[in-house]
Chains A and B, each alone.
Chain A
Amino acid sequence: GNSVTQMEGPVTLSEEAFLTINCTYTATGYPSLFWYVQYPGEGLQLLLKATKADDKGSNKGFEATYRKETTSFHLEKGSVQVSDSAVYFCALSKGSQAGTALIFGKGTTLSVSS
């Protein structure tokens, strides 16, 4: 079946450090891939997406590239800020004509200190 695996957290970094959060997936067909971010006490915000192999999604300095050969969609940022502290979820879409469900990983907590 379809599934998403994220690296275990928490990830603790100093401000301006480089960030990588690993995400791999198992899916039939060609799903779209997403990163969502959840700040404390809030719902999920879409961070970026990619819909086909070799696509790169980017937003607010974050990037992720859809790698079909390695079934991966790792999230990266060159220089993190304290305000990036949150929980990050990798997800894939399981779509059909009937509808689309998102399948999420367990989330990775990022903590950035100044």
Chain B
Amino acid sequence: DAGVTQSPTHLIKTRGQQVTLRCSPKSGHDTVSWYQQALGQGPQFIFQYYEEEERQRGNFPDRFSGHQFPNYSSELNVNALLLGDSALYLCASSFVLAGGRGSTDTQYFGPGTRLTVL
């Protein structure tokens, strides 16, 4: 059973560029969340996708956007990169309970994509 996978592993960009990160959720999961982890800090919630829509968003600017595909995989896009966007970007997956009872609160994380902005 494959866990959460992310690509690429590492990425180097320059200020002002745009970047796309990719995530495939754990088998059986339909919800994808993205987190930013700066060096020496805990992960910060960016947003969560379910049924191809953004369902919840953390305190991040509009430069951060996402997409979820019919196969539940997801992309994180960051425009106009800043030096401060350098971080480990983590994807996590979970699933929605039947009967409209919301998503489970246990999330499983991928290995992350290390983004360096020069």
- Chain A residues engaging chain B, CB cutoff 8 angstroms: 4, 31-32, 34, 36, 42-46, 49, 51, 89, 91, 93, 95-107
User: Which residues of A are found within 8 Å of B48, using beta-carbon distances?
Assistant: 99-101
| Cβ-based interface call for B106 (8 A) | yes
Looking at chain B, what size class is its interface with the partner chain?
20 to 34
Can you list 29 A-B pairs, Cβ within 8 angstroms, ordered by A?
A4-B42, A31-B105, A36-B109, A42-B112, A43-B4, A43-B109, A43-B111, A44-B90, A44-B92, A51-B105, A89-B42, A89-B43, A93-B105, A95-B103, A98-B55, A99-B50, A99-B56, A99-B102, A99-B103, A100-B56, A100-B94, A100-B103, A101-B58, A102-B35, A102-B43, A102-B92, A102-B105, A105-B42, A107-B41
| Cβ-based interface call for B100 (8 A) | yes
Q: Are A99 and B43 in contact (CB under 8 A)?
A: no
Interface centre among A46, A93, A100 (most CB of B within 10 A): A100
| Cβ-based interface call for B33 (8 A) | yes
| Cβ-based interface call for B27 (8 A) | no
| Cβ-based interface call for B104 (8 A) | yes
Give the complex CA separation of A89 and B42 in angstroms.
7
Which residues 100-118 of B have a CB within 8 angstroms of A?
Answer: 100-112
